[in-house]
Structure 1
Amino acid sequence: MDQLPRPVFARVKTLPGGNRNPWHKHSWAQLTYAIKGVLLVHSDLGTFLAPPHWAVWIPPEVTHEVIASVRTERRNFFIDPSETDWIADRCRVLEVTPLMRELIRAVAALPVAYDLAGPDGRLVRVFLDQLVGLNESQFHLPMPKTPALLESCTNLLRSPDTELTVLDIAKTAALSERTLERTFLRETGLSFREWRVKFKLMMAIGSLEATRNVSTTAYATGYETTSSFIAAFKRQFGKTPGTFLKTLDD
């Protein structure tokens, strides 16, 4: 499917929890949007998390995998790179506006061979115009570039409960702890501790959605008190877990 039949081609998917779309890439851009459930997109550029009503933008030729949380409904839009100026060179998580949400539903329902010159074609143009104005969110976890550090972080993403210390990773990478911390900060903009905290909080979003219980999620994420989890979550994402849960239900 190297050539898209139209500027935008949509696919509707309902996925069981834990479904994994293995590592792959394609020559068109992709917008993947979660109606229900949480999507995780792993790539060499970082990890990107889309709760319900958020979307992940994946540029052409970027190798990635997509993992679904609990039963997930998503809409995939494959976009011909020649049809829009906004083919970013990096993945990003986008806040989907109410208008864009309705456009997503409408464009996803179009026939594959919609009329480019008719109302359907004009609707797609509005969809593309609105896409470029969406705000970027903070559900992004940067990845280090040094191969040994990238491998360690990727292993952590695949096994979130693994308890690795800076010393463990330094030994694996044949680096001193000080060199590892300096390299990690330079390549990701975060210390390893900050990276690990953000990763755990991003993973907590799936638990929040599944349990709808802040205290249960706090303890499952490793926080000794609910209040410390709430404070850390708000520092990272700008809103409390309770407020975030309300956005999932909107």
Structure 2
Amino acid sequence: MSDPERQSPSPSRQDAGLWATLAKTHQAGTVLPRHQHQRGQLVFATRGVMLVETPQARWTVPPQRALWVPPQHPHAIEVLSTADMRTVYCQPVLIAGCESFTRRDEVHAVVASPLIRQLVLGLFEQHFDHTTRHLMVSLLLRTLQHTPCLPTHLPMPASEALRTALAPLLTHHQWQLPLHALAAAAAMSERSFTRRFTAEVGLCFRAWRQRARLIASLDLLASGRPVKTIARTLHFESAAAYSASFRELLGCTPNAFRQGQTSDDGGAGL
């Protein structure tokens, strides 16, 4: 598969051999079709929200989060709101040399802590020499290992029938659709739909839908919409119900998340 970011050198791109960086702004609605890189990459944006999809799951990545994608791991990226991406690529030999980075072979989201943010952005500062930036990349990989792994991923079914049935929920926020309508869209009985969904996803449909709504709300939060409006759009019973569910999954309130903050007790449990 091709690498859609491969292009001629520019001031926004630097390749130091074992690591490389790319700064690029993508407009809302941009889709980078499924592809894979020979290098591992840390997907991060200083502005905007991205949806990263692998064959197994989807991750919503707002500016408060970063996503590690291992080498040779197929993924697609959809830009939900105009994003200023700052991507760091690492050669497999550099990744392998960081033995403490035990999650290096897993796609996972982490908190974009002040340290991670400054390390990433510092790699784009030309006043740091090559040796210093190499040390920064190595420290970045080690920091990822000690940063909480966050539940912003949404497992997806493998079968096309189930994915097609879920499309109205994920694309048009039709979360109120009853189970029998979804089963019909998949050409299954309700019982078969429920059984197959749980087998493929690892969650019952009710739990998956709750998680999907909360993760979908990350993009709405980034757009600046009021919490009450988001709760209504995603068919929560009330803003309070939405906030309580959000805190249970992400360890902070929607407004705190929007401000890039988490409670002291919330981060430890993620």
Normalised to the residue count of structure 2, the TM-score between the two structures is: 0.79
**Are residues 21 and 163 of structure 1, via their aligned partners in 2, closer, same or farther at CA, if it must alter by over 3 Å?**
farther
Task: Quote how far apart the aligned CAs of 1:110 are.
Answer: 5.0
Task: Quote how far apart the aligned CAs of 1:89 are.
Answer: 3.7
Identical pairs, percent: 28
What RMSD over aligned residues (CA atoms) do the two structures have, in Å? 2.8
Task: Quote how far apart the aligned CAs of 1:151 are.
Answer: 4.2
| Alignment-derived partner of residue 106 in structure 1 | 122
Distance in 2 separating the partners of 1:89 and 1:157: 27
**Are residues 33 and 125 of structure 1, via their aligned partners in 2, closer, same or farther at CA, if it must alter by over 3 Å?**
same
Distance in 1 separating the partners of 2:106 and 2:175: 28
What is the 5 A alignment of 1:1-250? 5-85=16-96, 86=101, 88-110=104-126, 115=130, 118-153=131-166, 156-161=169-174, 164-247=177-260
The 8 Å contact of residues 52 and 248 in structure 1, kept in 2 or not, is answered as no
Between the two proteins, the alignment pairs up a number of residues equal to: 245
The residue type equivalent to 2:65 in the other structure is: W
Deviations 1:54-91 (A, max 9, x none): 10111222222212233322211122122113474432
Distance in 2 separating the partners of 1:170 and 1:220: 23
Equivalent residue of 1:90, what SS? coil
**Are residues 161 and 110 of structure 1, via their aligned partners in 2, closer, same or farther at CA, if it must alter by over 3 Å?**
farther
Distance in 2 separating the partners of 1:7 and 1:192: 43
Equivalent residue of 2:38, what SS? coil
Distance in 2 separating the partners of 1:168 and 1:61: 38
Deviates more, 1:207-216 or 1:43-52: 207-216
Deviations 1:180-238 (A, max 9, x none): 22232233232112212211221111111212521122122223422222222222222
**5+ residue gaps in structure 2?**
7-14, 263-270
Deviates more, 1:162-171 or 1:61-70: 162-171
Deviates more, 1:100-109 or 1:20-29: 20-29
Normalised to the residue count of structure 1, the TM-score between the two structures is: 0.84
Equivalent residue of 2:221, what SS? helix
**5+ residue gaps in structure 1?**
none
The 8 Å contact of residues 36 and 71 in structure 1, kept in 2 or not, is answered as yes
The 8 Å contact of residues 39 and 50 in structure 1, kept in 2 or not, is answered as yes
**Are residues 128 and 229 of structure 1, via their aligned partners in 2, closer, same or farther at CA, if it must alter by over 3 Å?**
closer
Runs of 4+ in 1 over 6 A off after TM superposition: 1-4
